[in-house]
Chain A
Amino acid sequence: MGFWEITLSLINGLEMTCLIFALTLVLALPLGLVIAFGSMSKFKPLAYVTKVFVWIIRGIPLMLQIFVVFYVPGLVFNATGLSRFTSVIIAFVINYACYFSEIYRGGIESISKGQYEAGAVLGMTKSQVFFKVILLQVVKRILAPMSNEVITLVKDTALARVIMIVEILKAAEFFTSYGLIWPMFYTAVFYLIFVGILTLIFGFFEKKLDYFKA
């Protein structure tokens, strides 16, 4: 088994890593906003339920949540379980949406009341105020915590291997049965490049929004 063969096999795993990462991001970013609005709702029961939900999801290891999504439908309801991949995506999306929601909430609540009032007195509707005035200020404020969370997601994708999804780390693990340990360490190079690219992207957006203070 040569270097290139192993590299190719790891790249195959990396594709799965990227897929989990991208799907989670695309679905959890908007879902997080919905959850954030739920937890800030003036309708108290909704806010309360949402907060308990976020507490549970953030309070339990993601690995356990993957097991729950994958095994519980079959065990408890005798239903045909979800596929491994779907289970992983559902667990990741819900988990990350909850973390994102708290970041959104912090960002939205940190914007001064004066910004909303200034918009209102100028005759803007609530949604105009939110989308035209508040949103970009929130984006600027949450960029740093979001980049943290997104980078964590890159590495959390490795958890998918607990239900036999072959992402990059699992792909490397196969070679241990041939007595090869180094492919495991080799994966670090891929993770570092991945995170490096993300850091550059976030840096670009931070620079873009540098022109104003909020």
Chain B
Amino acid sequence: MALLEVSDITKSFGKTKVLRGIDFSLEKGKALSIIGSSGSGKTTLLRCLNFLETPDTGTISVDGEKIFDASAQKKPSEAEIRKNRLRFGLVFQSFNLFPQYSVLENITLAPKLRVNEKKLPADIKKQELDKINQNALALLERVGLTEKADFYPCQLSGGQQQRVAIARALALSPDILCFDEPTSALDPELTGEVLRVIKDLKSADTTMIVVTHEMDFARNVSDEIMFMADGIIEEMGTPEEIFDNPKSQKTKAFLNKSLESF
């Protein structure tokens, strides 16, 4: 059974239909790249998965558990949304690190708040908090920023900030980690370090959804490619299927245009 199953997601903002029926599933440990022209609804789809937008129709299931159902009679409580949210992580185009916290604190803030909410005996709580710190340091090592643990976001390059943001998202061990154009806000010479980190995550069997304009990255790193156009999935398949034998005219046109721009 697939880890993630999305069915019939639609979303409108006022009169504009941004998502017009999205159905797909994703196996555990796979990396999915979403490509498509500007305005096709890629960001909106990721935001729906992360409960930043509420879809008008459809369902989202993770691990067989229905975590969103637009037709449900009663609205989910804030606490339920919070719990379900942790199934997903999201790395933003603009990093959105918390400027007043050090790199390490950025990573540990949310997990520590969760521990502090629980009523735990003092010594157990201390153990848990220590574990969070250890885990954060391990994550920093994974994204190659061990020596920056005590730096503040304003002291880091864009690429370093984005790597911290990735570590921060990983700290809550989401089932599925989403990236919304993680390198678009970066200078070209900094995209490589971030893409490499994302690529390395893959070998560690994290399930990922990456919205990207980096066609080389999509082709080389992902197991599946989704091409979106005008709020629907125009075509989905392996990188070979999409890049070498696109079936749809729209896909062909899009790929030709993105290749031209290089």
Instruction: Name A residues whose Cβ lies closer than 8 Å to a Cβ of B.
Output: 112, 114-115, 117-126, 128, 132-133, 136-137, 140, 209, 211-214
Contact = CB atoms under 8 A, between A and B. Distances in A.
Contacts of B50: 121
B98 A118 contact: yes
B154 to A, nearest CB: 4
A60 B56 CA distance: 48
Q: List the 5 closest pairs (A to B, CB-CB), nearest first.
A: A122-B110, A118-B96, A114-B96, A213-B154, A212-B99
B100 interface: yes
Contacts of B191: none
B115 interface: no
B94 A212 contact: no
Contacts of A118: 92, 96-98
8 contacts: A112-B94, A120-B52, A123-B86, A125-B78, A125-B82, A133-B109, A137-B100, A211-B152
Given A117-B92, A120-B85, A123-B85, A212 B100 contact: yes
B96 A115 contact: yes
Contacts of A122: 109-110, 168-169, 172
Contacts of A137: 99-100
B78 A117 contact: no
Interface string B87-117: 0111010101111100000000110011000
A94 to B, nearest CB: 32
A161 to B, nearest CB: 43
B41 interface: no
B99 A123 contact: no
Contact of B82 (A115, A123, A209, A213): A123
Contacts of A115: 96, 98
B231 interface: no
A43 B154 CA distance: 37
B52 A214 contact: no
